[in-house]
Amino acid sequence: MRIGILSRKGTLYSTRRLREAAEERGHEVTIVDPLRCYMNIAAKRPRVVYRGEPLHVDAIIPRIGASITFYGCAVVRQFEMTGAYTCAESEAIARSRDKLHSMQLLSSEGVGVPITGFARSSRDTKGLIDMVGGTPLVIKLLESTQGTGVVLAQTRKAAESVIGAFRQLDANILVQEFIEEAGGADVRAFVVGGRVVASMVRQAAPDEFRSNLHRGGTATAVKLSRTERNTAIRAARKMGLTVAGVDLLRSNRGPLVMEVNASPGLEGIETTTGVDVAGEIIEYIESHAVEGDHPPAGRKTRKKTAAKTSRRKGTRRAAAEAGAGSVEADDEARDEEE
């Protein structure tokens, strides 16, 4: 089968592992930089042109970083129109990037989420704080990653001033009840095709409530309860994601979904649990994608050449083609690992 991994950088852990897992199973892999794809969106026979050549694949694995969501989703959509199987549909990726919309969807499905408030006017700050049950509470910048825009306010005064400060910056924020009993830990459940294939708990450093590994958190493998597993599976399903990293907080009223990630990183989960998550993803694709058996004229030759070339050049070279070596691409690609 021909599999395209949509990633800006072949040397990223996840991209490398997915490639390995696919090649081990005899598939032909192309690392496709989504920003180098272009397309005629009005064509009767949709196709994707990659670096000037039409690219035909049976399946794609989108690893679309938050910073390129818009263009990346357009590329994924075009691949969908060519009939390629995708383990994350463009709609689902876009949906998961909107944290607020995600929360609304999950909550409407009866999936537990922390009580979360959202308001525009500073005149509503008091009401917003009351809505989530008063302090302590958590204030989150909607654009936050790696815990940078997440603040714990212990008192009403502190909450008011932080909310006020963010408002002045014209930032979108949400206010959330603080799940104190989670004890600075959260759970990452890795869902593939309606199954939790691996899970870990991340524990925050002492005197820190954010468990992000970038903030000194530590990860250990964990076995989830049936309720936790079901919650993660339902959350991924509601978001329309076949592959998802679901983050849960363990609260007194059961598991609460904090976030559902469409491009979950493999490094933390594989090294912590020892599970071959990349292999699970490839095997799921094998049982769901259909190998194209009527290639249009010329396609076979081109594909063969492409495969040979990439084998010859080796992973390193292919990675360089996918944007490695440039500091800019480095920074931009990092957000593929959610």
Give me the residues that bind ligand ATP (CB under 6 A), please. Answer: 114, 138, 140, 144-150, 176, 178-179, 182, 186, 204, 209-212, 249, 258-259
What does the angle CA 232 – CA 7 – CA 307 come to, to the nearest 5 degrees?
Answer: 120
Question: Nearer Cβ to ligand ATP, position 258 or 282?
Answer: 258
Q: Would you say 306 and 227 are in contact if contact means Cβ atoms under 8 Å apart?
A: no
At 241, the amino acid letter reads L
Six token digits for residue 114: 């922390």
Six token digits for residue 287: 């049982």
Question: Nearer Cβ to ligand ATP, position 259 or 280?
Answer: 259
Question: Nearer Cβ to ligand ATP, position 148 or 309?
Answer: 148
Q: How far is the CB of 52 from ligand ATP (least distance, A)?
A: 35
Q: How far is the CB of 88 from ligand ATP (least distance, A)?
A: 16
β-sheet bridge partners, residue 222: none
**Residue tagged 């360089």 (tokens):** 320
Question: Nearer Cβ to ligand ATP, position 48 or 151?
Answer: 151
Question: Nearer Cβ to ligand ATP, position 119 or 307?
Answer: 119
Q: What are the CA-CA distances from residue 298 to residues 28, 82, 85, 303 (Å)?
A: 17, 17, 22, 9
Six token digits for residue 222: 């964990």
Question: Nearer Cβ to ligand ATP, position 10 or 62?
Answer: 62
Q: How far is the CB of 286 from ligand ATP (least distance, A)?
A: 30
269-273 contact pairs (CB < 8 A, 24+): 269/188, 269/190, 269/198, 269/199, 269/200, 269/245, 270/17, 270/198, 272/200, 272/219, 272/220, 272/221, 273/198, 273/199, 273/200, 273/221
Question: Nearer Cβ to ligand ATP, position 122 or 251?
Answer: 251
Q: How far is the CB of 125 from ligand ATP (least distance, A)?
A: 18
Q: Is 205 helix (H, G, I), strand (E, B) or coil?
A: coil
Question: Nearer Cβ to ligand ATP, position 145 or 230?
Answer: 145
**Residue tagged 């876009």 (tokens):** 94
Q: What are the CA-CA distances from residue 109 to residues 24, 233, 328 (Å)?
A: 39, 12, 40
Q: How far is the CB of 280 from ligand ATP (least distance, A)?
A: 22
Q: How far is the CB of 151 from ligand ATP (least distance, A)?
A: 10
β-sheet bridge partners, residue 221: 200
Q: How far is the CB of 277 from ligand ATP (least distance, A)?
A: 18
Q: Is 274 helix (H, G, I), strand (E, B) or coil?
A: coil
Q: How far is the CB of 184 from ligand ATP (least distance, A)?
A: 6
The pairing of beta strand 28-32 with beta strand 2-6: parallel
Question: Nearer Cβ to ligand ATP, position 38 or 118?
Answer: 118
Q: How far is the CB of 279 from ligand ATP (least distance, A)?
A: 25
